[in-house]
Structure 1
């Protein structure tokens, strides 16, 4: 299970990579493995406002649909439009080309509510 150290993690298995006041959001390696082959990714539009812990889209796999819950609040600045034609990028490369959205964070303090890689790995171990 890959959990890059520089990322922050939510209990809903999303990650955030912080770049200045922006947060790049994606689903974790664990989540994509649990879902299996991803067939559809439904994401918000550029300009949409995300509120921490609110649903902002979904990921559909062959046998299930998983809601995506925002790990941080902010305004959507970019959406990974490549996922519309190739949703399997989330399975193939969840931490790079399989990212979901980029947001301008409205409250960077929310990052303190997320887990470090070590804590996230412990969270996975406790829930397996």
Structure 2
């Protein structure tokens, strides 16, 4: 069974968002997603300053098995990317909810979070797939 932290919000394409008290949010892929991908060998992230849109493609994660689009759960301006993934893309596999975060955004609309899944709803989605 995949790990599904209760303090995050999720989207159907297996990305998560963790909101900080300052109105910024970190984005990453879920444990289920990294397991499905296999060993990640390359990650393409949006550029700092770019605007990402909730539900739309924001990057790519490539593994030895396949390439998969990474979608942003929220809309906002990219304020930081996890540059360590250039040298260590395996962090996505090893620690998808910690060191394997992808990028941080300044949220355009915190109300957008209300439309995302909580851990229980995401758990049901994953259970249907597993």
TM bracket, shorter-chain basis: over 0.9
RMSD: 0.7
| Equivalent-residue separation in structure 1 for 2:122 and 2:105 (angstroms) | 22
Within the candidate set 47, 50, 53, 2:49 is matched to 47
After superposition, residues 61-72 of structure 1 pair within 5 angstroms as 61-72=63-74
Q: Is 1:27 aligned to residue 44 of structure 2?
A: no
Shift of 1:113: 1.2
Tell me the distance in 1 between the aligned counterparts of 2:65 and 2:38. 8
Q: CA deviation at 1:43?
A: 0.2
Write the distance in 1 (CA, Å) between the matches of 2:120 and 2:113.
15
Structure 1 residue runs of 5 or longer lacking an equivalent are none
Residue 66 of structure 1, CA deviation: 0.2
- Deviation, structure 1 residue 28: 0.2
Deviation at 1:126, TM superposition (A): 2.0
Q: How many residues align?
A: 128
Name 1:7's counterpart in structure 2: 8
Q: Deviations over 1:75-111 (max 9, x none)?
A: 0000000000000001000000000000000011111
Superposition deviation, residue 127 in structure 1: 2.8
CA distance in 1, matches of 2:129, 2:85: 29
Q: How far 1:12 sits from its partner (Å)?
A: 0.5
> What stretches of structure 1 move > 6 A for 4+ residues in a row?
none
Task: Please report the TM-score for the alignment, with normalisation by the length of structure 2.
Answer: 0.96
Secondary structure of residue in 2 paired with 1:44: coil
The 1-side partners of 2:56 and 2:8 are apart by: 20
